[in-house]
Amino acid sequence: MQRELYEINEIVVFRADATNNIGTGHLMRCLILADELLKHSYTSIFVVKDLHSDLIQYINTRGFQVILINGEDISIEQDATTTIEFVSGLINKPKWIIVDHYGIDYRWETMLRPHVKGIMVIDDLANRSHNCDILLDQNISHNYKLRYNKFITPGCKLFLGPEYLILKEHFYASRHDIQPRSGAVKQILVFFGGSDPTEETMKVLNCLNKNNFNDVEFNLIVGLSNKNKQVIELKTKQLKNVNFFCQVEHISELILKADFALGAGGITMWERCFLGLPSAVTVVADNQQESVLVAEYHQTIWNMGWHENIISQDYNNIIEKALGLPNVLKRMSEYCLNLIPGSRLDYVINEIVNPIKAD
């Protein structure tokens, strides 16, 4: 049955990795693209390292095949060779391979080039060269429209900036007729990414144990890869105004309900911004620092700084600040909606689906 499917459908191969500590966002945005491509009768296959992540099973439950490769530290050339062995065994030559991986660069892509029709790279860093046909970076950063010019080959099509956010379909439906937040803060969303490796959620819970903010409802989200998810769930049950959610499929619904958020940088920051939700942002990874500074410059967030410098009391203080400044939050919400007026991800999907034109 699967063999017949591959004979009928165009094939897209995704190369991305995630552990229970890092990389959740990479796989999640690849899954969103896979869902969109399925609407165009594309079959997506995920090639991932066997890193014993809960997310591997999650990919399967979403209906996509997973090919596991050696999870040990191997060279970029060995990684490419293993991927080529799998790709070469497919009945149809894949139309695209889509790479979302900070450890892969032009060397890997050049080795794969003869075995696929096109290569797309999803990146956030602009720190290495690529041999690809499409490059997408959904972040705003200093000089973001030009910073990839020295890293790409001639003819590569660039999709840069938050107008190309890779968001689930329900985000776009939620965006219609949205209004800036206004009035008192009644609901606060807490979400520090799928794995929350710096344990910011625990810091927030410790804060709420000391000062429960009884007039506020907290919606707290963790991902499947959060190592503390069971402990967090138990702690939330002891707090009457805290709701626990794990691996939420329609997070846009909770973003819409919220008046304020505590969260990390990265894609989740731009998701909140897209739906006009002002937030206090903790930088939990080096690659988030520049985009968080840009979001702060545009007055869409409060930048709490580097995670190692933040304690539970800091979250207490920022919640109290938010409760006391509803007019400021309204202005931040307006700036969020103005910064990202809409999405053009359909341009990227069309570029993938339409035949690649010869030079």
pLDDT of residue 356: 52
With contact defined as beta carbons under 8 Å apart, do 352 and 134 qualify?
A: yes
- The dihedral sign for the CA sequence 99, 275, 239, 201: positive
Strand ranges inside the chain, DSSP E: 10-16, 42-49, 65-69, 96-100, 118-122, 134-137, 157-160, 187-191, 217-222, 242-246, 260-264, 279-283, 301-306
Q: How far apart are CA 195 and CA 71, in angstroms?
A: 19
104 against 344, higher pLDDT: 104
- CATH hierarchy code of domain 2-167+343-353: 3.40.50.11190
Is the pLDDT assigned to residue 267 strictly greater than 90?
A: no
- The per-residue DSSP string of 158-186 comes to EEESGGG----HHHHHHHTT-----SS--
Using DSSP, state whether 333 is helix, strand or coil.
Answer: helix
Is the pLDDT assigned to residue 320 strictly greater than 80?
A: yes
Domains 2-167+343-353 and 173-339 in one fold: yes
Taking alpha carbons only, the member of 174, 158, 168 closest to residue 351 is: 158
Is the pLDDT assigned to residue 126 strictly greater than 90?
A: yes
- Over residues 36-47, the pLDDT tens digits come to 999 999 999 999
- Over residues 186-219, the pLDDT tens digits come to 999 999 998 999 999 999 999 999 997 999 999 9
Domain 173-339 has CATH 3.40.50.2000: yes
Domain spans of the chain, in order of start: 2-167+343-353, 173-339
Backbone φ and ψ of 50, nearest 5°: -80, 85
Catalogue the active-site residues. 26
User: Two tokens at 114?
Assistant: 């003869």
pLDDT of residue 305: 98
Is the pLDDT assigned to residue 167 strictly greater than 70?
A: yes
Taking alpha carbons only, the member of 332, 338, 329 closest to residue 183 is: 329
182 against 20, higher pLDDT: 182
Report yes or no on whether pTM surpasses 0.85.
yes
Distances (CA, A) of 203 to 9, 172, 211, 225, 311: 47, 32, 12, 18, 7
Mean pLDDT rounded to a whole number for the chain: 92
pLDDT of residue 8: 56
Is the pLDDT assigned to residue 179 strictly greater than 60?
A: yes
Q: How far apart are CA 176 and CA 47, in angstroms?
A: 36
Residue 163 marked in a binding site: no
pLDDT of residue 176: 87
Determine the average pLDDT of the residues in 311-329.
98
pLDDT range class, residue 7, cuts 50, 70, 90: low
